[in-house]
Every structure is written in C-alpha cells, then in structure tokens.
Structure 1
Amino acid sequence: MGAMATDIDLHLGRRLRRRRRLLGLTQQQLAMQVGIRFQQIQKYECGANRISAARLWQLAEALESPVSYFYDGLTESMERREAGSGAGEMFSRKETMDLIQAYYQLGERPRRRLLDLAKSLHGDAEVMA
C-alpha cells in the first residue's frame, strides 16, 4: 500500500471519528447501525483498515452526512504532506474531485468494473510506452 493511500485512509478515519463524536455516538452504537463490530470502527478510525466504498456509503448514511464530508480537507492535508511532489496538485484539480464524486455515486458493481477498466487501461499505456 503506497504512502498516499495510507494518508487517505488516515484522513477518512479522522473525519469518521470527528463526525461520530459530533453526533455523540460511541463506536459501539455506530457499529450496530451499520451491522459490524465496534473493533472495525476502531480500525477505520485509526487508519489500520481501509474503508470500502460501500462501507463509506453506509457510514455516511448512519452519520447523516454526505460521502463528500469524509474527503473534506483532503486536498489540503495531501498537499501539506506531499509538499510539491505533484500528488497534492493532482487532488487540487477539479477534474480529480469530479471523478471521485462521480465514482462514489455509482453502485458497488459498476464501481468495481470502472476500477478494473481503469487498471487495464493503465496496463495498456505501459505496454505502448
């Protein structure tokens, strides 16, 4: 798992914890709402476990917030961390944010197909280079 992916997992975990506390929910209460064990919430919040797109949707529903809430401030935190390496710039582009938003508006199966397609196109590009 790359450093950027880890940073995103940590950011989402922090946002999850913030929103849960804001609503006065315990990890146990939130876990029960989405049908998982509270240890899983703990792991999400500390960034140890990655939150799947489907789970993020469930958490957003349970926390009465849009999925985009979890990504708020991500651009800035990535830019600070990456400090000019180019990844921060990628997240500040409107195109990137539009793509992320559109991706999370899809159902789980179409999302998986889109991701597989993107990965296969990336492979094709490397072959052509």
Structure 2
Amino acid sequence: MTHPVDVHVGKRVRHRRWLIGMTQQQLAERVGIKFQQIQKYETGANRISASRLWDIADALEVPVSFFFEGLQETPADESANADTATVPADLLGDKEALDLVRSYYAIPENQRRRLFELARVLSDVA
C-alpha cells in the first residue's frame, strides 16, 4: 500500500519534471536509473531514498524541500484562505494548467507583466 507522503513527493517530482519539459527518460538518465523507476517514484509505488531524492532535486534544479511543500495543508487550512478556496487542490496535476504556466513563462517579461495585470483585472471583475 502506498503512503500518502510517497504519493505527494512523487506528484511533486512529476509536476516539476512536466513544468520544465523533461521526460521520464531524461530524468532517469540524469539520475542514473531506468525510466521505469521514475514511473514508480511518480506514482508513489516506490519510496524515494534520501540520496536519490537529493539527486532528483539536483537534476530538476530545486531544493529537496520543494518535494514536501504543501504536505501539511489540510482542506480546512485551504478553506480558511479565500484565495486558495477557488483554486483546485492539485492544480499542478492538471496538464492544461501546466501547459498554461509553461506558455506564460515563454512570453517576454514585459508582455508577461501586462498579461498578468490583465488577468488580475479580469479576476477582480468576476
């Protein structure tokens, strides 16, 4: 049976890998393992050892703590904050949201700021 922490860490590995446009094969090569092992890590089927998590964090260019962010949040904590109450709990699990974030950061910075301001105005109106 999978442990919720292993599932959470695996999801964070997958989300970060998707966000930077890396395949399971590429990550596996950088870490020195087979891509099937990455698949098992991402589903939480296999636990990631501390040293392997260190290597994965290095390959994905994030601190190890990245994989544990949001772990202690509970639905009650999220509903207390009005901003997060309208955001799905697993936002980065949504491929469309990840594609949107990736596309957003591909826009030149000055245009990105203008787009961000437009989105903020539109969300205030809704």
User: Do the two structures share a fold, i.e. TM-score over 0.5?
Assistant: yes
Q: TM-score range with shorter-chain normalisation?
A: 0.5 to 0.7
Q: Secondary structure at the match of 2:46?
A: coil
Structure 2 length-normalised TM: 0.57
Match of 2:19 among 19, 22, 33: 22
Structure 1 length-normalised TM: 0.56
In structure 1, the residue matched to 2:55 is 58
RMSD between aligned residues: 1.7
Q: Secondary structure at the match of 2:61?
A: coil
**For the pair shown, which has the larger CA radius of gyration, 1 or 2?**
2
Identity of aligned residues (%): 64
1:44 matched to 2:41: yes
Deviation at 1:9, TM superposition (A): 0.1
- The unaligned stretches of length 5 or more in structure 2 are 76-126
1:74 matched to 2:79: no
Q: Which amino acid is 1:40 matched to?
A: Q
Task: Give the structure, 1 or 2, with the largest relative contact order (CA under 8 Å, sep 6 or more).
Answer: 2
- The unaligned stretches of length 5 or more in structure 1 are 81-129
Which ranges of 4 or more aligned residues in structure 1 deviate by more than 4 Å? none
Take 1:58 and 1:74, find their aligned partners in 2: how far apart are those partners? 21
Q: Which amino acid is 1:51 matched to?
A: I
Take 2:42 and 2:33, find their aligned partners in 1: how far apart are those partners? 14
Q: Alpha-carbon deviations, 1:49-107, whole Å to 9, x = none?
A: 0000000000000000000000000011xx45xxxxxxxxxxxxxxxxxxxxxxxxxxx
Q: Which amino acid is 2:5 matched to?
A: I
Q: Which amino acid is 2:26 matched to?
A: Q
Q: Which amino acid is 1:49 matched to?
A: N
Take 1:71 and 1:26, find their aligned partners in 2: how far apart are those partners? 21
Take 2:43 and 2:37, find their aligned partners in 1: how far apart are those partners? 10
Q: Secondary structure at the match of 1:75?
A: coil
Task: Count the aligned residue pairs.
Answer: 76
Higher percent of residues as helix: 1
